[in-house]
Amino acid sequence: MEPARILLISLSNIGDAIMTTPVLQALHAEFPEAQIDIVADRRSSEIFLHCPYRGRIFNKDKQKFLRGLPALLIEPRSTRYNLIVDLRTELIAYLLRADKRLCRWHRKPYGTHSVERHMGVIRAVHGPRPIPPCIMWPGEADRNFANRILQKYRDNNLLGIGPGANWPGKIWPQQNYLKLIERLRHKFEAVVLLGDAKDRKISQIIAEKSILPCVDLCGKTTLLQAAAVLQETSLFIGNDSGLGHMASSVNTATITLFGVGQPERYRPWGDRSKWLTGVDQKIENISVDNVVSCLD
C-alpha cells in the first residue's frame, strides 16, 4: 500500500538541509499522493516553506532543553506515519509512531558525496534511478523582491559573490575578491554580494573598492529572497558555505573555494558546480588565476 503520511527528518545547517532535498523529491516521485511532513532546524526550515508537496514543518530548536527533542516530539506523536525517513540518526524515528522506518545506519550510499549518502537511506525505495538535483522553491514575493532589487541591472550578466563563511579559515582574502572582480570586469556588468549580517564588514569593503557596481545584500535578505536573487545571477563564486548550495539549487553555475573541508563530500551538488581547493588546505593558496581559469 502506498504511504499516505511520510515524515522526513532533515538536517540543521542550511547547506546540509539543501542536500536533503533530493531525498524529498525522490519520495514525492515514488509516492506522489503522500503528504510529506518535515523535521527541520528553525534556521533552515524556510528552505521547505513553498515546497508544493510538503505537509507540516516541525522545527527542532537546539537551544531548548535536551536540544529541543522533547518539545519537537509533542505534535508529531499524534500522527502515525506510514514511513519515517531519518537522515539525522538522533533516534527521533524510534520515538514516533510509524509502520516503517528508514535510517542512516541502514543506508547503502550511491557514492561519497553527502547527497549520494543521503539517497542511500532510501535506496530500497529509489533503486537505480538517477538522483534528483537539489532544489529550493522561492515564492512569488521572493521573486518580486529580486526583481525590485536588481531592476537597474535587468538583462545584464550579474556575478554573485559570497565573501563570508562561518570560520576565518574558510574565507578567501577580500583583496582576492577585488582582484577577481577587476579581472572579470569585461564579463559582468555588476556584482551582487550575499551573506548574513556578520559578513557585512567584508562586503562593505568590497562594495566600496570594486571596479564594478555592487549590490550589497549581506544581512538584508531571507534565505528564499537570496535564492531568488541567485537565480538572476549568471555565476556565483564563494567560500564553502550554504550560499553555494543555494545557488546550485536554483540552477546557477557555481565555483566554490575550499581551504579546510572535503569538497568530494560537501561541494554543491550538480553538473554546473566547480570547485577549487587551496594547497595544504589553505584557502589563501587559491590564486585569482586559478579561479579565472575555472571560467574557461
Among 39-43, 57-61, 66-70, 213-217, name the one with the lowest average pLDDT.
Answer: 66-70
Is the per-residue pLDDT at 262 higher than 60? Answer: yes
Instruction: Report pLDDT for 206.
Output: 98
Residue 65 confidence class, pLDDT cut points 50, 70, 90: very low
What is the CATH number for 173?
3.40.50.2000
| 121 and 148 inside one domain | no
Among 20-29, 91-100, 171-180, 267-276, name the one with the lowest average pLDDT.
Answer: 91-100
- In this prediction the pTM is 0.94
184-201 burial, b at 16+ Cβ within 10 Å, e below that, comes to beeebbbbbbbbbeebbe
Give the tens place of pLDDT for each residue, 155-171.
Answer: 789 999 999 998 899 99
Instruction: Report pLDDT for 66.
Output: 41
Domain assignment present for 97: yes
Instruction: Report pLDDT for 24.
Output: 98
| 281 and 151 inside one domain | yes
Domain assignment present for 136: no
| 95 and 206 inside one domain | no
Q: What percent of the chain is modeled with pLDDT above 90?
A: 83
Give the tens place of pLDDT for each residue, 211-221.
Answer: 999 999 999 99
| 151 and 96 inside one domain | no
| 109 and 201 inside one domain | no
Among 116-120, 127-131, 153-157, 233-237, name the one with the lowest average pLDDT.
Answer: 153-157
Domain count, the chain: 2
| 49 and 100 inside one domain | yes
| 250 and 159 inside one domain | yes
Report the alpha-carbon distance of residue 180 to residue 198 in Å, rounded: 22
Domain of 37? 5-126
Identify the domain boundary among 126, 156, 185. Answer: 126
Identify the domain boundary among 97, 126, 155. Answer: 126
| 50 and 164 inside one domain | no
In the block, which residue shows the cell 550538480?
Answer: 270
